[in-house]
């Protein structure tokens, strides 16, 4: 029986992907690296330290360690989200939808815990979640399923009882690998990616989810 829902965060609940891009551009510029949107979209869904490691291998900058660059990006994103972070369309609708139906609700994000805390406080949604899992504490980040499995375990749920909501191919892959029913809400520029066919359901907005769709994805 499906009784649990687990949400990704960045790009799904909070409109943070543009802020991540701005923060990375700002910090990478300090080490002489210029990242265009086409480049930083390549690493969407990965943990921050994995993004930094990827681009360090590519550009091989000097002057700042990977750890320092990672910490600066996270601090910059947190400041930007607190200053201008906006919820995604349908945020409260979807959380209330599952709360009213007595689902266990969790969050499984690639972001570090301090960023997750900043976002859910900023959006005022902490009380919706019975468990929050960060891939920061896992050996592997998405597309590995570890963070989804950890969140399900914290909720006392089998992965087979869970629906996962995602916005990226990387996150969808992680949720599917965890054997969860997977709903994707891709950003507009990514909606035509053929890989989203792997999901059980693809939406343009969280507002499109309803009882009929909940019933359909369980069969």
Instruction: Report the catalytic residues.
Output: 8, 10
| pLDDT interval class at 132 (50, 70, 90) | very high
* Top-tier CATH class for 17-84: mainly alpha
DSSP 80-98: HHHHH--BPTTHHHHHHHH
In the chain, pLDDT over 70 holds for what percent of residues? 100
| Model pLDDT, residue 140 | 94
Q: What is the pLDDT of residues 157-212, one digit of tens each?
A: 999 999 999 999 999 999 999 999 999 999 888 889 999 999 999 999 999 999 99
pLDDT for residue 87: 97
CB-based burial label for 3 (10 Å; 0-12, 13-18, 19+): middle
- Judging by DSSP bridges, how do beta strands 162-166 and 4-7 pair with one another? parallel
Provide the whole-model pTM: 0.90
For residues 140 and 103, what is the distance between their CA atoms, to the nearest angstrom?
27
Q: Give the CATH class of 4-15+86-217.
A: alpha beta
Give the span between the Cα atoms of 112 and 72, in whole angstroms.
13
DSSP secondary structure of 176-204: HHTT-EEEE---GGGTT-GGGGGSSEE-S
Residue from 152, 149, 145, 146 nearest 104 by CA: 152
pLDDT in tens, 75-105: 999 999 999 999 999 999 999 999 999 999 9
Q: Where are the domains of the chain?
A: 4-15+86-217, 17-84
Closest-CA residue to 170 (of 189, 188, 186, 181): 186
148: pLDDT confidence band, cut at 50, 70 and 90? very high
Give tens-digit pLDDT for 18-71: 898 899 899 999 999 998 877 877 887 788 999 999 999 999 999 999 999 999
SS3 106: strand
């Amino acid at each position: 029986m499906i009784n649990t829902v687990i949400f990704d965060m960045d790009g799904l609940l909070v409109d943070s992907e543009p802020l991540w891009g701005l923060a990375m551009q700002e910090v990478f510029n300090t080490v002489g690296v210029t990242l265009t949107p086409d480049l930083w979209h390549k690493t969407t869904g990965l943990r921050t330290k994995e993004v930094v490691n990827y681009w360090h291998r590519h550009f091989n900058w000097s002057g700042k360690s990977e750890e320092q660059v990672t910490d600066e990006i996270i601090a910059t994103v947190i400041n930007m989200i607190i200053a201008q972070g906006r919820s995604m369309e349908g945020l409260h609708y979807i959380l209330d939808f599952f709360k009213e139906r007595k689902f266990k609700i969790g969050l499984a994000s690639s972001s570090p815990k301090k960023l997750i805390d900043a976002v859910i406080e900023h959006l005022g949604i902490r009380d919706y979640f019975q468990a929050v899992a960060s891939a920061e504490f896992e050996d592997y980040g998405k597309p590995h399923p570890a963070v989804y499995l950890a969140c399900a375990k914290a909720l006392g749920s089998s992965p087979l009882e869970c629906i996962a909501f995602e916005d990226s191919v990387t996150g969808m892959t992680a949720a599917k690998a965890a054997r969860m029913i997977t709903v994707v809400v891709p950003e507009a520029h990514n909606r035509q990616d053929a890989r989203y066919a792997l999901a059980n359901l693809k939406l343009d907005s969280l507002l499109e989810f309803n009882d009929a769709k909940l019933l359909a994805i369980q069969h």
